[in-house]
Amino acid sequence: MAASHRVSVFPSPRELGPALARLVAERAAATGSGRFSLGLSGGSLVGILSRDLPAAIAAAGPAAPSRWLVAFCDERLVPPEHPESTAGAYAAQLLPQLPAPGPRVLAPATGLPPAAAAADYAAQLRQAFPGEDVPVFDLLVLGLGPDGHTCSLFPGHPLLQEKEKTVAAITDSPKPPPERITLTLPVLNAARMVVFVATGEGKAAVLKRILEGDEENPLPAARVRPRPGQLRWLLDEPAARELTIPVEKHPVP
């Protein structure tokens, strides 16, 4: 493991959530009066952040969400009201809880065909990160699938080799819905900090492969190695049960 690669283990998502929320709020506060750029993934992370982030922001004080730029690490090309929409879920659950004025949000145009939606989102990122060939996020919060995928980067998929595009379209996702757009590995690996969140015993086997393996053809999540940024893993005990590496254990408060 890289020196900056830390693994923290909590008894359950109930204890993990506040720790993740504090980390987000602290990273925002560390930017001082400048902008804080945050990339969010969907799935169970929506509920965790919606439950715990508003209180963490209030406790942190000066990190006003009006200085935040929020983007999404991938998106299913479905309408915002669809239950699979990441942007729609955050708009319904988290964003209304943040103090006004809220963050600037970059939302993919899901009504376009996949290639056009990817190009449009890449253009939004270029405008939001002027002068940067690859956008450098202050923090990316990523999830992990039991197959080792993260964002919409799946094992064995050609998108793992993408080196030029910052946003790519996928029309054959093995996990429905099939049409999506996703940030690419160059963007993930340019971030100042990446935090993976994984919970449940269904993630235990793949976490052992990612964190303890040395595979010739690594899984997508194992390819996320931000340079010169930091890499953190926040796990619950069921997800971490097969690990033998040293971890930071956080008991119930």
Tell me what the mean pLDDT of segment 194-220 comes to. Answer: 94
Tell me what the mean pLDDT of segment 224-230 comes to. Answer: 89
- Asked whether 55 and 17 are in contact (CB, 8 A), the reply is no
Residue 99 is given by DSSP the state P
Whether the pLDDT of residue 51 is over 90: the answer is yes
Task: Tell me the whole-structure pTM to 2 decimals.
Answer: 0.94
Strand ranges (E), the chain: 5-10, 36-40, 68-72, 74-76, 104-105, 139-142, 167-170, 180-183, 193-198, 230-236, 248-249
**pLDDT for position 32:** 77
Q: CA 111 to CA 97: how far, in whole Å?
A: 27
The string of pLDDT tens digits covering residues 90-142 is 999 999 998 888 899 999 998 999 999 999 999 999 999 999 999 999 999 99
* CATH level 3 topology of 5-249: Rossmann fold (3.40.50)
Average pLDDT in the chain: 92
Tokens found for residue 18: 């506040």
The type of residue at 25 is A
**pLDDT for position 61:** 67
**Band of the pLDDT at 65, cuts 50, 70, 90?**
confident
